[in-house]
Amino acid sequence: MKMKKLFTGVTVGLLSIANFMAPLSASAQNARDNHVEMGQTPKNIILLIPDGMGTSDMMAYRQFKDGKYQPFAGRTVMDDYLVGQMMTTPEDDIAKGASTITDSAAAGTAMATGEKTYSGSIAVDNDGSDLESISEVAKANKRSVGIVATSDVFHATPAVFHSHVESRKDYDVMLKEMTENLKNKKELPFDVLLGGGQDLFKTKEADHTKLFVDNGYKYVESADDLAAVDGDKVLGLFAPEALPYDIDTTDEKIPSLAEMTSAAIKTLDKNDEGFFLMVEASQIDWANHANDLRGSMSEIAAYEEAFQVAIDFAKKDGETLVIASADHETGGFSLSGRQSDGTNEQQFLNNPVLEMKCSPNLLAEKIQESGDVKGTLTQYIEWEFTKEEIAAIEKALKDGGEEVTDNIVAAITNAVNIRTNAGWSTNEHTGGDVSFYAYGPGYEYFTGLIDNTDVAKTVKFFITGQKNEEKQSEESTSSESTETQKSKEDTTVEETTKAA
């Protein structure tokens, strides 16, 4: 009788859970419908890296996109393709005081080569040897390669896909490496390179873009020229250094990240053997370093548009894998938790962000140009600053110096964060896991919890058909461990049954 009652209770419980889960199952089914049949190998691979974007950033962006707080926040384009989490740890010498938190160079190297290294390294191992990147493997297997960024093209993340230097600061070495290869008629590890950096290629000594043109590249400096470009190799540089934040871009000559992504795909897709494309939304990271919600939301919006371009192509093409993940999280952002006036505010209010017409960066420039703090703030922000906040900005302006822009930006972002109740734990990177997104043939390889090195290992496997030997060994060990565990569980079940 007791046993019957027990099973009756379990049955009722299971039915209750089933009824509760029914709506969730429909939602999960919708997510599954967005994916393709498992067991396929992609011809093309697009890797998107929203540098520095954390999970709380995404929650804030959902509310920002909705225009208000809602109990059931709206969905972003990315949400339906969320498949897991990625770990981001570097391989630094902790005994010598090195950080356990990665920088973009080490994180990018892990994602580009499949090997962990020290912070600051551009595709170089701890012993100084070069690490083979996805780009190099793709080119060796007749694939085309594209690299797109909103930073300058020598910044850490794009650099790990085209160069090998011991320090991320060695821009001159990277450029020399490229030009020497071009002079010697050696193929570069990319067919398309788009981003900022005109001043890096065009110096007083030489215009290195001409060397690219002499080696078959089309060189463009405007959005219109990029859209119209023909050929299978393109160098596009659209700003003296990095591109401006998307919200601050008023120059129609500067393409958006989505436009650069579309142009890169158009060029690379001419290769019947397939292609690899890396697209970085570089400046989510920069905004988060500054604890700047307005800049961060703007850059995530621009990233979402580029993500949509990649997904649209993949769905139409049917042979393209799209994978996306930040290389690390920056800023330690939290929704509420900001202590204002001695109270622990438990509301995240996004109206102050929505009511800003530009980023604090551009606002700081406008203030320096006009010298009129209050008038400039009123022109670009719909809410009022306090007398104390205006005084802090005026002091930063009066003090001047090399850090005047940073000091003005800090005063503005502080005012924004107080009004939104936004919490930030740091101006640096954090060590938390980041969300991973995937769609297309082979997406199942990225489900669950993965390491950042798994990105390159898996992509290289798709390109070459050869698994990394170390990974094969790990999988073999894991399989043996699973079989041993299963055997133990079977034995336990059998013993329990006999005891019963």
State the catalytic residues: 104
State the alpha helices, DSSP H only, in 386-468.
Answer: 387-399, 404-420, 453-464
CB 474 within 8 A of CB 357: no
State the alpha helices, DSSP H only, in 188-292.
Answer: 198-201, 209-214, 223-228, 257-268, 283-289
CB neighbours of 4 closer than 8 A, spacing ≥ 6? none
Number of H helices, E strands in the chain: 19, 16
Rounded-to-integer distance, Cα 12 and Cα 158, Å: 56
Residue 332 CB neighbour total at 10 angstroms: 19
Q: Is 50 helix (H, G, I), strand (E, B) or coil?
A: strand
Q: Is 396 helix (H, G, I), strand (E, B) or coil?
A: helix
Q: What angle do CA 137, 140, 141 make, to 5 degrees?
A: 90
Helices 293-317 and 404-420, interaxial angle, to 10°? Answer: 80
Q: Convert 420-439 into a string of H (helix), E (strand) and C (coil).
A: HCEEECCCCEECCCEEEEEE
Rounded-to-integer distance, Cα 404 and Cα 124, Å: 36
Rounded-to-integer distance, Cα 303 and Cα 300, Å: 5
Tokens of 24: 């969730």
Nearest by Cα to 245 from 191, 207, 299, 285: 299
Rounded-to-integer distance, Cα 260 and Cα 148, Å: 7
Distances in Å between the Cα of 70 and the Cα atoms of 23, 34, 296, 490 are: 19, 25, 20, 48
Rounded-to-integer distance, Cα 262 and Cα 119, Å: 32
Rounded-to-integer distance, Cα 164 and Cα 162, Å: 7
